[in-house]
């Protein structure tokens, strides 16, 4: 059962004060994954972007990107204090009720968001995303087959509600899309996050130069696909829309 607290704006305002710096330090893995996988998109919307790390990365490499969230305070802090000359557009948006016109973006994505909601809420949000996206919806959710990760979250949840989340398996994500009312051409599932994230570091073990580092953006998304589901952090679900 999703934790209702994590669906409220007040929770996130407080939580971001504590966590935003850590989120911003992490590599923009989802942005890198998207830039690698899609060659035919120009406009991108991130929903529930929080730190908007991934949409900011996409804006900086030439996409017309918008980072959105329903937590306006955090968006203002990012835009007016941390990233004053940002190429990223910011927009306050509730994922249940986006203010954009139909087909406004080539691709809509979110990372670590559906994990706070039940099936009915997810289907409702998918419908809204399918309205606003022209070509693709891409989302990343935590993988229930990774038992080690599930345990880590259970332990962390004892002191921080942020970790009280739902985990998914690939079949469940596909089921949710099939049972929503959206029209799609196909659904693809990819592995995302895990051991190979190590190669985002310039030095391994703190001092050994990482030979993958110069090629990290190209290689890491491909290397994820070699690992077992049991060792994979998240499921990446790619929905190509039928319009
Ligand atoms: C775990 S965070 C996402 C982190 C983000 N992917 C990042 O890299 O920083 C979840 C986000 O969902 C946002 N959120 C929760 N409910 C929302 C809703 N109904 N509409 C839009 N954003 C929402 C929260 O404000 C929070 O920023």
SS3 92: strand
pLDDT one-digit tens code per residue, 33-70: 999 999 999 999 999 999 999 999 999 999 999 999 99
pLDDT one-digit tens code per residue, 22-41: 999 999 999 999 999 999 99
Tokens representing 113? 């968001």
- Distance (Å, whole) CA 227 – CA 196: 9
- Does ligand 1 come within 6 angstroms of the Cβ of 125? no
Taking phi over 0 as left and psi of -120 to 50 as alpha, with beta for the rest, 112 belongs to left
Query: What total of structural domains would you count in the chain?
Result: 1
What is the reported pLDDT for 1?
A: 64
Instruction: Note the Cα 78 to chain centre separation in Å.
Output: 18
- Does ligand 1 come within 6 angstroms of the Cβ of 90? no
What is the reported pLDDT for 202?
A: 95
List the single range of 11-20, 31-40, 90-99, 164-173 with lowest mean pLDDT: 11-20
Tell me which residue range forms the domain holding 130: 4-241
- Does ligand 1 come within 6 angstroms of the Cβ of 111? yes
Pocket probe for ligand 1: among 26, 45, 50, the residue whose CB has the most ligand atoms within 8 Å is 50
**Distant-in-sequence, close-in-space partners of 1: CB < 8 Å, separation ≥ 6:** 118
- Whether 3 shows a pLDDT value over 80: the answer reads no
Taking the CA atoms of residue 65, residue 66, residue 69 and residue 71 in that order, the dihedral angle to the nearest 10 degrees is: 120
Q: What is the CATH number of the domain that holds 160?
A: 3.40.50.150
Smallest CA-to-CA distance from 106 within 46, 159, 48 is with 46
Give the pLDDT band of residue 226 (cuts 50, 70, 90): very high
Query: Which residue lies with its CA nearest to atom 3 of ligand 1?
Result: 50
- Whether 9 shows a pLDDT value over 70: the answer reads yes
pLDDT one-digit tens code per residue, 63-95: 999 999 999 999 999 999 999 999 999 999 999
Angle at 213 between CA 211 and CA 219, to 5 degrees: 95
For residues 14 and 138, the model is more confident at 138
Smallest CA-to-CA distance from 94 within 133, 128, 135 is with 128
Smallest CA-to-CA distance from 35 within 9, 18, 3, 59 is with 59
- Whether 231 shows a pLDDT value over 90: the answer reads yes
CB distance 39 to 46 below 8 Å: no
- Does ligand 1 come within 6 angstroms of the Cβ of 46? no
Give the pLDDT band of residue 143 (cuts 50, 70, 90): very high
- Does ligand 1 come within 6 angstroms of the Cβ of 51? yes
Tokens representing 128? 């809204």
> Hunting for tokens 């989340």 — which residue is that?
165
SS3 162: helix
- Distance (Å, whole) CA 199 – CA 201: 5
- Whether 238 shows a pLDDT value over 90: the answer reads yes
List the single range of 9-23, 98-112, 129-143, 194-208 with lowest mean pLDDT: 9-23
């Amino acid at each position: 059962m999703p934790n209702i607290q994590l669906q409220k704006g007040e929770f996130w305002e407080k939580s971001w004060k504590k966590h935003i710096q850590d989120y911003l330090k992490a590599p923009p893995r989802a942005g890198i994954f998207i830039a690698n996988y899609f060659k035919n998109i120009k406009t991108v919307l991130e929903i529930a972007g929080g730190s908007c790390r991934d949409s900011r990365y996409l804006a900086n490499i030439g996409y017309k990107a918008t980072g959105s969230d329903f937590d306006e305070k955090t968006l203002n802090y990012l835009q007016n204090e941390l990233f004053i000359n940002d190429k990223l557009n910011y927009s306050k948006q509730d994922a249940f009720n986006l203010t954009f016109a139909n087909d406004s973006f080539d691709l809509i994505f979110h990372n670590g968001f559906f994990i706070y909601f039940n099936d009915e809420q997810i289907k409702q949000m998918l419908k809204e995303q399918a309205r606003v996206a022209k070509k693709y919806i891409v989302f990343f959710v935590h993988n229930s087959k990774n038992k080690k990760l599930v345990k880590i979250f259970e332990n962390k949840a004892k002191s921080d509600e942020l970790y009280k989340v739902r985990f998914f398996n690939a079949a469940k994500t596909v089921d949710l899309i099939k049972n929503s009312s959206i029209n799609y051409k196909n659904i693809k599932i990819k592995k995302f996050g895990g051991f190979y994230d190590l190669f985002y570091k310039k030095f391994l073990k703190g001092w050994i130069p990482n030979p993958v580092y110069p090629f990290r953006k190209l290689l890491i998304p491909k290397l994820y696909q070699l690992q077992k589901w049991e060792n994979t952090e998240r499921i990446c679900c790619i929905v190509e829309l039928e319009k």
